[in-house]
Structure 1
Amino acid sequence: MRTSIATVCLSGTLVQKLHACAAAGFDGVEVFEPDLVTAPESPEEIRALAARLGLGLDLYQPFRDAEGVTEAELEDVLRRAQAKLELMSRLGMDTMLVCSNVGTASVDDDRHSADQLRRLGDLAGEYGVRLAYEALAWGRYVDDYRRAWRIVELADHPQVGTCLDSFHILSRGHDPAGIEEIPGEKVFFLQLADAPDLQMDVLSWSRHHRLFPGEGAFDLPGFLGHVLRTGYDGPLSLEVFNDTFRQTDPDRTARQALRSLRALESATAEALDRPTPGSADLLRLPAATSPAGVDFVEIKAEDTGAVEQLLEGLGFAFGGRHRSKQVRLWQSGRARVVLNEQLARGTEPALAAFGLQVEDPDATAERAALLMAPPVHRRTLAGEERLRAFVAPDGTEVYLSRGTDWVAEFEGGVPPSGESLVTGVDHVNLVQPWQHADEAVLFYSSVFGLAPQPSQEVAGPAGLVRSQVMRSADGAVRLPLNLLPIGRPWAPQHVAFDCADALAAARSARAGNVPLLPVPDNYYDDLAARFDLDPAMLAELRELGVLYDREPGGGEFLHFYTDTVGEVFWEVCERRGGYEGYGAPNAPVRLAAQAARHRFH
């Protein structure tokens, strides 16, 4: 289907926004009036630029406070409307958004409002313009799409139809099923936005916290399905007011926006229970198959020697050197760490990539490409495994594998001695730049079908840290995305290994001289107050520097952290009794200890 986006979604000038939308691949735009008013270019120049870029000018918006007014006030409404209709003629546009009245309405009568829309329709008809009437969620009298449609029906004018906006409908909790009672030809325009589940006034929620589809809590595939069942065949358009998007690079935001629409189209096509007139035009992506686990993590640095010493102390075995690259492998159970010193001059150890095991790497890579994920190309010699890969929003490379054939390319490794304490990768914790956190949620949900879990906030020395976990249904892949306070200069990533006995692993790590993060005695005093722990166990936790948490259902979590090496640190954890969390109550202790260590080193 045709895709469109409101210029209010992006930062920059109107010309910059048009270029960004065209470069991303949108078919058209909604022109947000303030963007045009502040532009030095004439309407004719904007029209010509859009034509050169191949962009349709789909909707002019907004026209406010148009109905529910007195007869004397209507004269001013018609005067304003005529000026805007003449402007639209210069732009070559044929659809204008008319919002329900929020400020000047004084007559709460549907027939009165319908009559005034009819008179506006007569005027618009002289310019060949359609009026798409929308119920704002905070409209003074009209705040429900069903009432807006009733007024449009009463107006009974060929130039007057309705605009359906997912935010205005879903934020108020209105049932979108009634949309199917509206004839498709009278749905003049469709605006889509997602949003987080917040408890606040709807106007502030709308103006500051909308998100692109797939980044929030709304059921947009279900909503779009209702719209398509009407026979609507116009563009799928995004109207997202968001403080972050209005500060970030417009080219990147436009690509993020189109990715969200593509994912929404595919999800809607999958969710529709029967063909609809518009469903045949929906984009269908290759199926998203949930990854079966983390295949490996990759640390890149000019010198990875300190990481090797740490891994050896945790019980990892040297898995060999790559036959053609300056890369080494360390293994423990199903946990594999690749150490890469290629093209890393001046680089401190940092998490550069991780691999996910998927059923069909080629189909997943194709899905990622259609969702505009930049591909990764690495030199591969004949006979070597070619792993498909692409770049996540934070710059981390994500590799795809079906199995572990690539491990055979590492030579000279030693077999592990005895039973491995570390058995696999429990989760990979990825720090996200504040301006790209929502994009990361969309990326991992749309490409891999990972589901966002309820976000949590924990207190750190530099402010609150928000964590949003992306998780596969079976928990085989867990990716906590940490959004750190704006301006925080230092934010290491970390990898958490799972084990069957965290106390034994901590004891072994200390014997292997692994530098562990210190835990203050105050923490254990508080732990004794929070939980009725056996004194002997509490003493052992204190002695080994192991942290503890317990869920209401009885599940327990034991874990400890290493010191940070470069820009990465490691966690070893044990889950007991079905514990599903990540030790969030202990995060402030870890953050404070890391901040102190970083300050004095």
Structure 2
Amino acid sequence: MRSLLWLESEVRGRLANDDAGLRTVHAEPVEALCEASTGSARTGGGVPALREASTGSARAGGAAIELFDPPPVPTLFDIGFIEFAADEASAPVLGAQFEQLGFRRIGRHRSKAVTLYRQGEIHFIVNAQPGSFARERFDLHGTSVCALGLRAGDAQQAAERAVAMCSLRHDSPRGPGEIAVPAIVAPGGNLIHFIPGEMSTGALFEADFVLEGEGGCSGAGLRSVDHVALGLAVDQQDTWVLFSRAVLGLTPGESLELADPFGLVRSRGVANAERSVRLVLNASPSQRTRTARTLTRTGGGAVHHIALACEDIFATVDRLRAGGVRFLPISPNYHDDLPTRLDLADDFIERLRAAGVLFDRSAAGDFLHIYTEGGEQGFFFEIVQRIGGYDAYGAANAAARMAAQAQQS
């Protein structure tokens, strides 16, 4: 149903931009589809959320029918926080992993068993509150990402659009003085919170957490969330592309097939125009790939890995290694083959080899990245540095990464 509503809203938008003489179209095919989907016609008890409007009407049998008119596509600024589901035993283990990555604990929730970690502009929340939504997700999937917080120009309007586009609203219990942040249920069951754009994440956390010490933390040099990658069942990928497009206003990129030693993985990125919010949607038709095996445990729709951006990957990797972070060992053949496909200086290739860093290049810029070893949680981290206008995700190196992960399995 979401696809029909989105298509109808797109038609309405185009009609509103056309000349007045082109604003009337024949709407019976849409009506027939809606009747087949809902069992009722659009008039009377049909699809809700139709709004009166001065433009964008269609005609069926001589009567004007107003096309679906949801709230506008949200303006998303960035990923304000990532929330992890844990319990009393796993929360300190996860916190220690974050501290190894250079994060610092900066606060505890005023009324719940929730801890806040920060590095640069990255905020990780570990939620171990009994009886909470996060605990439900932990009971189902173990330690895992259970929510994303997206800063939106109009948070309430973003949630209203999501509900109009068939998403469920979620209301979390709040203590005295805590800020209400609209939330919806994403495909697969995790939450997406819309943080009011006029409110900094610092102001949000000051209201909900007892902060410890200074708020700033440079850590190992990680500064922002570059992208969040999801592992999906094959039939979920199109659902997520539509959700990202219709609800979040993200634009899909090229669909790619990546070579895992045990089968293909279909991968597609979605992002806002500013590239400050990026998701990567991965699905595997084969049941033997790492992506598919992860789905067996998580039930699908789970965060596969989190990519964190830095400005000097070599310095950041040195700091992380000194702190005990273990990186995925890449076959020496990878760096041996780099000169055959890219024009790189020998000393630079040796620097990449020594650090274990992967490299990709487009006409617009360069991409350097490295992966941590996977933990018991089933997700891992990627450290990335974008140079110039590089706008992809290092797909050329996916085979090397997945082969290395297969050897560790």
Instruction: Provide the TM-score with structure 2 as the length reference.
Output: 0.80
Alignment match of 2:147 (pick from 333, 350, 353):
353
Distance 2:398 2:48 in 1: 34
State whether structure 2 residue 351 is matched by structure 1 residue 549: no
What pairs with 1:313-392 in structure 2 (closer than 5 Å)?
313-342=100-129, 343=135, 344-345=138-139, 347-392=141-186
Name stretches of at least 5 consecutive residues in structure 2 with no aligned partner. Answer: 130-134, 296-302
What pairs with 1:403-418 in structure 2 (closer than 5 Å)?
403=199, 404=201, 405-408=203-206, 409-415=208-214, 416=216
Instruction: Indicate if the aligned counterparts of 2:230 and 2:282 stay in contact, CA closer than 8 A.
Output: yes
Secondary structure of 1:497 counterpart: strand
Instruction: Indicate if the aligned counterparts of 1:350 and 1:493 stay in contact, CA closer than 8 A.
Output: no
Instruction: Indicate if the aligned counterparts of 1:213 and 1:220 stay in contact, CA closer than 8 A.
Output: no
CA deviation string 1:431-458 (max 9, x = no partner): 2221121111111111121111121111
More off after superposition, 479-488 vs 315-324: 479-488
Alignment match of 1:489 (pick from 278, 293, 296):
293
Aligned AA for 1:519?
I
- Let me know the Cα RMSD of the aligned residues: 3.4
Name stretches of at least 5 consecutive residues in structure 1 with no aligned partner. Answer: 1-23, 26-210, 241-252
Aligned AA for 1:467?
S
How much does 1:301 deviate? 2.3
CA deviation string 1:84-104 (max 9, x = no partner): xxxxxxxxxxxxxxxxxxxxx
Aligned pair count?
367
Aligned AA for 1:341?
A
How much does 1:356 deviate? 0.4
Q: Which has the higher contact order (CA 8 A, sep 6+)?
A: 2
State whether structure 2 residue 99 is matched by structure 1 residue 305: no
With over 3 angstroms needed to count, the CA separation of the structure-2 counterparts of 1:381 and 1:515, relative to structure 1, is same
In terms of Rg, which structure is larger? 1
Alignment match of 1:433 (pick from 228, 233, 257):
233
Secondary structure of 1:470 counterpart: strand
Aligned AA for 2:370?
F
Identity of aligned residues (%): 33
Alignment match of 1:564 (pick from 354, 369, 374):
374
With over 3 angstroms needed to count, the CA separation of the structure-2 counterparts of 1:400 and 1:506, relative to structure 1, is same
Match of 2:299 in 1: none
Distance 2:115 2:361 in 1: 38
Distance 1:309 1:543 in 2: 27
Instruction: Provide the TM-score with structure 1 as the length reference.
Output: 0.55
Alignment match of 2:385 (pick from 574, 577, 598):
574
Instruction: Indicate if the aligned counterparts of 1:422 and 1:499 stay in contact, CA closer than 8 A.
Output: yes
What pairs with 1:218-297 in structure 2 (closer than 5 Å)?
229=23, 232=26, 234=28, 236-237=30-31, 281-297=66-82
Instruction: Indicate if the aligned counterparts of 1:314 and 1:505 stay in contact, CA closer than 8 A.
Output: no
With over 3 angstroms needed to count, the CA separation of the structure-2 counterparts of 1:224 and 1:482, relative to structure 1, is farther
Aligned AA for 2:204?
W
More off after superposition, 440-449 vs 576-585: 440-449
1 or 2, which has the higher strand percentage? 2
Alignment match of 1:537 (pick from 348, 356, 360):
348
Distance 2:344 2:76 in 1: 37
State whether structure 2 residue 171 is matched by structure 1 residue 399: no
How much does 1:265 deviate? 8.4
Secondary structure of 2:294 counterpart: coil
Match of 1:33 in 2: none
CA deviation string 1:254-281 (max 9, x = no partner): 79xx9xx989989xx89x6x76657761
Distance 2:381 2:165 in 1: 32
Distance 2:190 2:93 in 1: 22
Match of 1:204 in 2: none
Distance 1:306 1:411 in 2: 21
